[in-house]
Chain A
Amino acid sequence: MSNRTTAAAVCEVRNLTVHYDVSATPVVAANEVSFDVYEGETLGLVGESGCGKSTTAMAMLRLLQTPGRVAGGSVNIAGVDIMRLRPAALRDFRWRNIALIPQGAMNALNPVMRIEKQLADAIAAHADTGGRQALRARIGELLEMVGLPADVRRLYPHELSGGMKQRVCVAMAVALNPPLVIADEPTSALDVVVQRLVAQSLIRIKETLGIAMVLIGHDMGLMAQLTDRVAVMYAGRIMEIAPTDILFKAPLHPYTQQLIDSVPSIRVKKPLRVFPGGPPDLRNLPPGCPFEPRCPKAITICRGETPALKACGEKQYAACHVPNTNRNNI
């Protein structure tokens, strides 16, 4: 984790903006989102529902469903801007360079196809499979890698448990050894024990293969356990981005602080902290900082001027007029 600064970026997201055309004025679900994903790292993208984390992920894959559309910005992977690819080239580019572990594990696999066929689909669409024998061997290898017995390949999705299905999705995502995998809440539907098993095997596999990952989630606990860096999103904007250990030890943005504080602990009983206000209404955002109405530290300027994401330390960036200053570690 220490040499991240020297690592090359496998993916550069620049000013990615997503509009939902649901009314005369589009709803801005992702607003000028920019970040890099470095080789082999796990970048967490965290926030509450409606913060734009899944929208950003889907936009990176160019898989937004209408009425959503990318209104601007670029996503460069391996020197190619995925936003500029024509359909045939995009098809070829996908999975080979950017794969997806989808959110709804329960429904991510085609119910009428055997597991092996769904894995073979992904491989055969992009690479020479080297014949039936080689393909079968490869599928066996992939299933073994995620800790599933080989006979799973003959089964249909409904014959697998939630955890097993999610493992199949992991196997599918790494089948072509892409430089980047996007995992959209990969374990949110699983029980806590299975979640730990699947999450840890996911991390182990991506580290073995040297794959970089963007991990979408809402659980700060999972972020602390699984990521190298975390980007916190709110109302379609990145509020703070920093290496995981720094972010949890000394968050700069009041919102990050609030997210961390709202996770109930199993070790220490603390009085419940009730935070005022609800999630932001994207159709009706306040001028200035979108978090201002809920922010305990808001000052006059927050109401008028939207803060830009700026460096506040070597690897830490925050979009806040009044970032935390009582940092005891740096």
Chain B
Amino acid sequence: MRGITKGYLIKRLTMLVLTVWLGLTLMFIIPRLAPGDPVAAMVSRLSAQAGRVEQSEQMIQAWQERFGLDAPMYVQYFRYLGNSFRFRLGYSMAYFPTTVEEMVMRAMPWTLGLLTIATLMSFTVGIAIGALIGWRPTPRVVRTLLPVSLCFTSIPPFMLGILLIYVFAFGFRVLPFAGAYARGVSPAFSWAFVSSVIQHGTLPAAAVVLTSMGHWALGMRAMMITNAGEDYMVLAQAKGLRPGRVFWMYGVRNAILPQVTALALSIGVIAGGSIIVEYIFTYPGMGYLLYQGIVNNDYPLIQGVVFVLICGVAVAVFIIDLLYPFIDPRITYERG
């Protein structure tokens, strides 16, 4: 009766596929609307490096054949769709023999780790702060001091990133300022590697968390205050429940619901915002990769990264959608 039904699951999955398909189609169309020929651009880049390229005309033609750009548009399109769904994203232009999927696979774990942890931390810490500020019985000292922690909210994350690098990497020299792990350490499941990863991830994560948790806190605070006037809150107090239980099961439990919706809606923004942060910290994730792609006019790389980002956001929203009926019993996916 409650929870997720097969029908809903199918419907939601169809939506997921449609979202990804729409993203793919846009990415197929947009570069083809732009003037210029990517192969010619690539050859001219080569010629710039080598000074001169022999038989550039033939080369362009050969490469167009090789990349399938001589086929009719619809063939290109379906080939492109098929390749994308098999996760074959083509060759990078700037790092030619390397495939885009190789580069993406290398970068993805870093972003996934950093973003997931930073977002979850920002969400939980922000919610906790907001809940405490918006709760009347919270001791006055706490209620006065907590808002101080939100002072970074209005700063853009990359500005805070620069500030953090300046203070902690160059000033106190306590944390590294670039990379995902130290040079001398090899990736393995060892203490040295893990601690190095944590050290390197701290500053970028802090830049994201400190600048975004204020939004969650302010939203949560407003919901807590609205919620405090509800009849069930008055009744919970009248029942003589312990304040902790009233706070948690009656207050936070209800006030958090709109926040979860907001989280699902803002995942795309969060992913987009991480690009600049990764660049500032030269963190080898998807954002940094995208930056490289843009700087080098490396279209396949840009397309590949954006494709993966679209998939990631769509899947994250999908997961939150599936979790929602478990936190709000009023939402049932019985029908519809």
Contact = CB atoms under 8 A, between A and B. Distances in A.
Q: Do chains A and B touch in the complex (CB under 8 A)?
A: yes
Interface stretch (B14-22, B78-86, B325-333): B325-333
Nearest to A169: B235
B168 interface: no
A95 to B, nearest CB: 5
Interface string B164-194: 0000000000000000000000000000000
Nearest to A155: B329
Nearest to B238: A100
Chain B contact residues (Cβ within 8 angstroms of A): what range? 20 to 34
B240 A125 contact: yes
A107 B240 contact: no
Contacts of A100: 234-235, 238
B149 interface: no
The A contact surface, by secondary structure, is: loop
A156 B3 CA distance: 13
A110 B240 contact: no
Interface string B245-280: 100011001100100000000000000000000000
A158 B330 contact: yes
Interface string B70-97: 0000000000000000000000000000
Interface string B303-336: 0000000000000000000000001111000000
A112 interface: yes
Interface stretch (A86-94, A264-272, A305-313): A86-94
Interface stretch (B24-32, B111-119, B225-233): B225-233
Contacts of A297: none
B137 to A, nearest CB: 9
Contacts of A125: 239-242, 245
Most buried by B among A91, A95, A112: A112
A94 B243 CA distance: 13
Given A112-B328, A122-B239, A125-B242, 9 more contacts: A94-B237, A94-B239, A95-B238, A100-B235, A102-B235, A104-B231, A111-B329, A112-B253, A112-B257
Interface of B: 229-232, 234-242, 245, 249-250, 253-254, 257, 327-330
Interface of A: 61, 63, 65, 90-96, 99-100, 102-104, 107-113, 121-122, 125-126, 156, 158, 169, 172
